[in-house]
Amino acid sequence: MEALAAVAFVFGMLGVVAFMRMEKLIRALKEKGVLDDDYKYE
């Protein structure tokens, strides 16, 4: 059961990292004018 918890933790951390990288990408695209300033990720 501990192995399942460890796998869940790893996938959870990967999800957090992916979310942070996506936010950084959206911010960079807004600064370059590729996305509108009022763009909201759904």
Q: Over the stretch 1-42, which tens digit does the pLDDT of each residue have? A: 899 999 999 999 999 999 999 999 999 999 999 988 888 777
Write down the pLDDT at residue 36: 87
Answer whether 26's CB lies under 8 Å from 35's CB. yes
Write down the pLDDT at residue 41: 73
DSSP, collapsed to helix, strand or coil, labels residue 37 as coil
Provide the residue ranges of all domains of the chain, joining segments of one domain with +: 1-42
Answer whether 29's CB lies under 8 Å from 35's CB. yes
Q: What's this model's pTM, rounded to 2 decimal places?
A: 0.70
Write down the pLDDT at residue 1: 83
